[in-house]
Amino acid sequence: MKKPFITKQQAEDLIKQYPTPFHLYDEKGIRENARKVKKAFAWNKGFKEYFAVKATPTPAILQILKEEGCGADCSSYTELLLSEAVGITGSEIMFSSNVTPEEDFILANKLGAIINLDDFTHIDFLEKLVGIPETISCRFNPGGLFQINNDIMDTPGESKYGFTREQMTKGFLKLMEKGAKHFGIHAFLASNTVANEYYPELAKILFQTAVELKEETGADIQFINLSGGVGVPYTPDQEPNDIMAIGEGVRKAFEEILVPAGMGNVAIFTEMGRFMLAPYGCLVSKAIHEKHTYKEYIGLDACAANLMRPAMYGSYHHITVLGKETAECRYKYDVTGGLCENNDKFAIDRMLPKIDIGDILVIHDTGAHGFSMGYNYNGKLRSAEVLLKEDGTSQLIRRAETPQDYFATFDFTNLFPKS
Ligand SMILES: *Cc1c(COP(=O)(O)O)cnc(C)c1O
């Protein structure tokens, strides 16, 4: 059974200060999990988690993760600015972008971020802009299918990211010629994997590739970046990943492949977003309408603009009706938002307890790729973000948008001249 990290009483107290809907984050959960990740990879001297900023681009969250020793994985100009603003700087920033605009590379270089190139042609592009830095990373795409125990996890051959295997060798040689001295390798082969084997299997591929690249080019490979993709159990029946087992699996591959090749000093980096944050955030919303037509509907004050994943991917997000945690789920509902878009449904045919107007609904696991994917369709405004602190108090870490924010990018004065 999935349990929210707040009680009905706590939610009611919060709602007195912060009107629904809002995203709520659990500081205690975030810190405990970040410490576990660190412990799981403590066997590796250079280990560092570069939190994927796109998952939760909120300064207070980045600050907590920074305090827990994390860096930041950025892929855009504003994500770089955000990291810099919370004091994550220099090589604590991994710049893993693609289709990168000139100004983004220029800023990444100025901040001293580690640049992780997505493509062979980016070598010339980067050189013309800012020159080739001494430390650089290349993103690898092995193509084909990515399988674990005959299960197809994803199809790298269909993904837009990364260098081919041949381009990795050519790229390393070209970069060395242009002055690069230290190298990293990165790959992201499957998303939201709920399987302890993902990182170890990916590690085997990357470690083997690193050994080959070192033999072929003589490059000094200093780090291997396993990127993101470690998932969380969105549905109640899924078994959560065991990060200790994952760390141990990567260690085994490291001992088997890198150590015998004399590469035992290579640092392991990760760029997790979802695993670091998803379970430690939820969307708190109120039932404001019910509708009885061909189906039974519950309408919330939140909509897909606050949480896009169900509309975009058909993702499951668990829902708890606060105060009815133990009630029998005897009613079948579509739980919807108010966008003029029929895919604005948080749940379809979901069995839930009887929902009454005014009930508080917690939509689970929205801490990553939740608020951040929000948008303004139908003029809907982005919600606030609230931090539930370790001591039980709360802090507004992002205020809700107002109509002024929505209208801030144009000038009304021409339309409505002062009379
Ligand atoms: C999105 C992304 C991540 C984080 O992915 P999660 O699935 O949230 O772990 C890491 N690295 C890169 C380059 C990404 O694009």
- If one residue of 199, 227, 369, 371 were mutated to test the ligand 1 pocket, choosing by the most ligand atoms within 8 A of its CB, it would be 227
**pLDDT of res. 151:** 87
User: Which of ligand 1's atoms lies nearest the C-alpha of 54?
Assistant: 1
Parallel, antiparallel or unpaired: strands 331-336 and 319-321: unpaired
Phi, psi dihedral angles at 411 (to 5 degrees): -105, 115
CA–CA dist 298, 288 (Å, integer): 8
Closest residue by CA, ligand 1 atom 10: 228
- φ, ψ dihedrals at 15, nearest 5°: -65, -25
pLDDT at residue 412, rounded to an integer: 74
pLDDT at position 411 is: 81
Nearest CA to ligand 1 atom 7: 229
User: Which pTM does this prediction carry?
Assistant: 0.97
Closest CA to 163 of 117, 198, 119, 111: 119
Token pair belonging to 14: 């919060």
Kindly report the backbone phi and psi dihedral angles of residue 350, in degrees, each rounded to the nearest multiple of 5, phi listed first.
-90, 130
DSSP states of 363-385 as a string? EPS-TTTTGGG---GGGPPP-EE
- Rounded to the nearest 5 percent, the helix, strand and coil shares of the chain are 35, 25, 40
Atom of ligand 1 nearest to the CA of 368: 8
Q: Within the chain, which residues score under 50 in pLDDT?
A: none
pLDDT in tens, 130-178: 999 999 999 999 999 999 988 888 999 999 999 999 999 999 999 999 9
Nearest protein Cα to ligand 1, atom 13: 96
